[in-house]
Each structure stands twice: as C-alpha cells, then as structure tokens.
Amino acid sequence: MRCLITGVSVHAPGGIRRGDLVFSDGRLLFDPAAWPECSLPKVSGKDLHLFPGFTDVHVHLREPGFSYKETILSGTRAAARGGFTAVISMPNLTPVPDSPEHLEVQLEKIKQDACIRVVPLGAITVMQKGLELADFKGLAPHVAGFSDDGRGVQDDSLMEEAMKKAKALDRIIVAHCEDNSLLENGYIHKGEWARKNGHIGIPSESEWKQVERDLKLVEKTGCKYHVCHVSAKESVDLIRDAKARGLDVTCETAPHYLTLDDSKLKDEGRFKMNPPIRSLADQEALIEGLRDGTVDMIATDHAPHAHEEKNKGLKGSLNGVVGLETAFPVLYTELVKTGKAPLETLLSAMTEKPNRRFHIPQEGWTLFDLGEETVIYPERFLSMGKASPFSGMKVYGKCLLTIWGENIAYMDETAFLGGQN
C-alpha cells in the first residue's frame, strides 16, 4: 500500500517541519518528490502531526496468569492505537517474574504476540510478598528494573538491601509507594462527593510517607530510583527537593491525576484506582511539577479488569482503569488546548524522558490528526478492559497510524482507505 500524506507537521529531534510524506509498504518516506504525485492516493486531515512513538513505562498486560483481563496481543494493539511504540510491563503476574525461569514465560509470550516493544520489570521480592528479595542477578540482563507494583515494600531494611543490589547491577528501583500502616483504620476522602457519600479512601500520607522513607534510602545507597503514579502534592514537593539535592530520582504521574480531581468522582468502578484521584490542589501541584520538570513522565498505569470486577461501585470494584487508547487525546485536550502545559512538555514526558531513563530506543512514529474531535466510547476499545474515567468525554487528537520499526502496529483504515482521493 502506498499513499501521500499531505500537510504534516513532523516533530523530530531537530525541530518541527511541515511538509508531505509518502507512506509505502510500512515505511514513511520523507522525500515525496521521488514519487509521481499523480500516481499516489492522498490522505489529508484537519491538523496532521507526526510524533515519535510514545513510551509508557507503567502498563499491566496481565499475561501470563490473567488473560481473561488482557493479553499481550490485545494490550499492545491498544497501545499502538494510542500512539505507543514501547511499554514497560508490570510484574504482578502468575508466575511472578521473580526468577529467570518465571520471567521466561512472559518473554515467550511477548516474542510471540507483541506488536510493539515490551520491556518487562522484575519483581523486587519473591511472589511480591515483601519477605525476601527476588533473584536480582539472574533477572537483571532481561529487565528494565525491579518493582513490586501494586504493593509497597513495607520493610525498611529489605528495601535498603534491594536498592544496594540494584545499584550494583546498574538497575533502577521502580517503587509503588504505599505505607500499609496508614490504611488499617481507613480514611474519609476529602472531596465533596466523598464526604457526602462516606467513601473510605486511601490517604495521601500513605504515598508521601513512603516516598519520604525511600528518598532517605536513596541518599544512603546511591541507587537509581523511580516513583510510580505520583498523586499527592506532598510527594511532588519531596521529589523536587530530592532532585535539588542531586539524588538520582525520577517519577511519573498518570493522565487521570493530571486532568481529574475528586469532585468529579462517581460511585462507579471506572473511577476506582490506587492511588485514588485526589483534590484539586493535588492536581494543580502535579501540573506544576510537569511544567517545571519535577514530574518527569506520564504513564497510564493501564490496568484492565473483567466487567464483573469493575461494576460494583467504588467500594466493591477492583482497583485499576484503562488508559492506553485515551492518554494522548485526553492530555492534549485538557492540558495543551487549555494552555496548562505546552505540547513540547507533553511530548517530552511521553517520549524523550522515559526513553532516556529506561534506556529504550526510539523506534517508531505515530500520526495524529489534532483537529479531529472524537468521543471516548470504551466499548470500542481494542483493550479487553473497558473501565475508563473518561467515558463519554469529547477529545481532540485521533491516532491515524502507528509504525514500530517498519511494521504497521496500528492503522485507522477509514483515514487511509476511505479517505483516499
């Protein structure tokens, strides 16, 4: 298949240039003059932009072990539809990748089914139970780092030992920060909706207290450290201060924390995640952290579940929402078009910064029509998970094409086949 894509703004390391591209048999050719224009069907849009493929450093692909929620095939297809050409997969699987033998099960499925790059994380502790360290040395050559995502490592000395081993192997600790001692009695969410409905929430202290603990251990051990799904303003302040002191620290937040606050909550499972959506003050602190570089990257924490696991309201549903197919349109609409953050900051947080931190090569491109308005309908997702807090939202930015290497990972056939002239 060959076609001419006209009037594209190409976002490349050297800057932005506008022109035409030829798409030919899975490749983008930047010299359309080499092709007789009259012989090529044309694809045009309202506002076409070609970006380097996005990288998501926090994705739950659910396979092996939970393929009724998501598979590597369905998850990577959803990622490609969202413009992603690389993802880092979380280790809460069965078997847990706490040894090379257990990791091999996942690696084989990735090799067999992934349509984009998938880089796994190894577990910090055996079975993610927080009692003894996983086989760091055996896993290190095959993983981007180590995480017990979904569970905070409660034992201070065990986390210190993990950091020392990670540093010796030049790997990064990717931390889900949650102090379980602060969850025992439950906390009432501070938002207006939650107050009226008596919803028991997860306090911000459970996040930032463990961030505070870990940063002290990072200073002691000198390891590389990355904080998952930051949601609280206190965490942003702690990380900003740690960076100012020269610690090797990065962090991520998610689209739902940047664009929603707890006044928007509804008693529906699609609003249930951990950490929870917090106050407007927390949201504003995260946006400011993104603008000033404290928040390095944006990751979806894509966490699909079956319908019956997410239809029990906020109290009864499992934690986790999906986000691969909506991340860029939501962020572009809510942050860039409103002037809260520039497009360059958003792109850096979804490409350059995650790639640099986790040593992921930039291998692909994604084509978006930023002038195209669409409505988010979860029932149309390629992901098996449908629980999205953005259901029904009108957004700008439609993905038309994602190329990984020279392979078409996703194509909107309506734009390319139905839109030919």
pLDDT of 293 above 70: yes
Residue 94: which residues within 8 A CB-CB, separation 6 or more?
A: 64, 65, 66
Q: How far apart are CA 243 and CA 293, in angstroms?
A: 10
pLDDT in tens, 98-142: 999 999 999 999 999 999 999 999 999 999 999 999 999 999 999
45: pLDDT confidence band, cut at 50, 70 and 90? confident
pLDDT of 283 above 90: yes
Residue 419: which residues within 8 A CB-CB, separation 6 or more?
A: 43, 44
pLDDT of 192 above 60: no
Residue 174: which residues within 8 A CB-CB, separation 6 or more?
A: 57, 121, 144, 145, 146, 147, 149, 226, 228
- The region, left, alpha or beta by phi > 0 then psi within -120 to 50, assigned to residue 214 is alpha
Rounded to an integer, the average pLDDT of 373-393 is 98
Q: Give the per-residue pLDDT at 419.
A: 43
pLDDT in tens, 63-110: 999 999 999 999 999 999 999 999 999 999 999 999 999 999 999 999
Q: Give the per-residue pLDDT at 220.
A: 98
pLDDT in tens, 409-419: 999 988 876 44
Rounded to an integer, the average pLDDT of 208-227 is 98
32: pLDDT confidence band, cut at 50, 70 and 90? low
Q: Give the per-residue pLDDT at 188.
A: 40
Indicate the average pLDDT of the chain.
92
Q: Give the per-residue pLDDT at 2.
A: 76
Are 305 and 289 in contact by the 8 Å Cβ rule? The answer is no
Percent of the chain scoring above 70 in pLDDT: 92
Q: Give the per-residue pLDDT at 238.
A: 98
pLDDT of 200 above 80: no
Residue 254: which residues within 8 A CB-CB, separation 6 or more?
A: 58, 229, 231, 298, 299, 300, 301, 323
Whether omega for the bond prior to residue 32 falls within 30 degrees of 0, making it cis, is no
pLDDT in tens, 325-353: 999 999 999 999 999 999 999 999 999 99
CA end-to-end span of the chain: 14
197: pLDDT confidence band, cut at 50, 70 and 90? low
Q: Give the per-residue pLDDT at 194.
A: 56
Q: What angle do CA 176, 181, 185 make, to 5 degrees?
A: 120
pLDDT in tens, 145-176: 999 999 999 999 999 999 999 999 999 999 99
287: pLDDT confidence band, cut at 50, 70 and 90? very high
The residue type at 210: Q
- Residue 154 CB neighbours (<10 A): 16
- Per-residue HEC secondary structure of the chain comes to CEEEEEEEEEEECCEEEEEEEEEECCEEECCHHHCCHHHCCEECCCCEEEEECEEEEEECCCCCCCCCCCCHHHHHHHHHHCCEEEEEECCCCCCCCCCHHHHHHHHHHHHHHCCCEEEECECCEHHHCCCCECCHHHHHHHCCEECCCCCCCCCHHHHHHHHHHHHHCCCEEEECCCCHHHCCCCEECCCHHHHHHCCEECCHHHHHHHHHHHHHHHHHHCCEEEECCCCCHHHHHHHHHHHHCCCCEEEEECHHHHHCCHHHCCCCHHHCCCCCCCCHHHHHHHHHHHHHCCCCEECCCECCCCHHHHCCHHHHCCCCCCCCCCHHHHHHHHHHCCCCCCHHHHHHHHCHHHHHHHCCCCCEEEEEEEEEEEECCHHHCCCCCCCCCCCCCEEEEEEEEEEECCEEEEECHHHHHHCCC
Ranking 199-213, 302-316, 393-407 by mean pLDDT, the lowest is 199-213
Q: Give the per-residue pLDDT at 421.
A: 37
Rounded to an integer, the average pLDDT of 218-226 is 98
Are 298 and 346 in contact by the 8 Å Cβ rule? The answer is yes
13: pLDDT confidence band, cut at 50, 70 and 90? confident
Are 183 and 202 in contact by the 8 Å Cβ rule? The answer is yes
| Confidence (pTM) | 0.94
Q: Give the per-residue pLDDT at 209.
A: 97
Q: Give the per-residue pLDDT at 195.
A: 56
Q: Give the per-residue pLDDT at 367.
A: 96
Q: Give the per-residue pLDDT at 39.
A: 62
Spell out the domains of the chain, with CATH numbers in brackets: 2-44 (no CATH), 49-404 (3.20.20.140)
Q: Give the per-residue pLDDT at 295.
A: 98
Active-site residue numbers? 301
244: pLDDT confidence band, cut at 50, 70 and 90? very high
Q: Which of 237, 215, 217, 216 is nearest to 227 (CA)?
A: 215
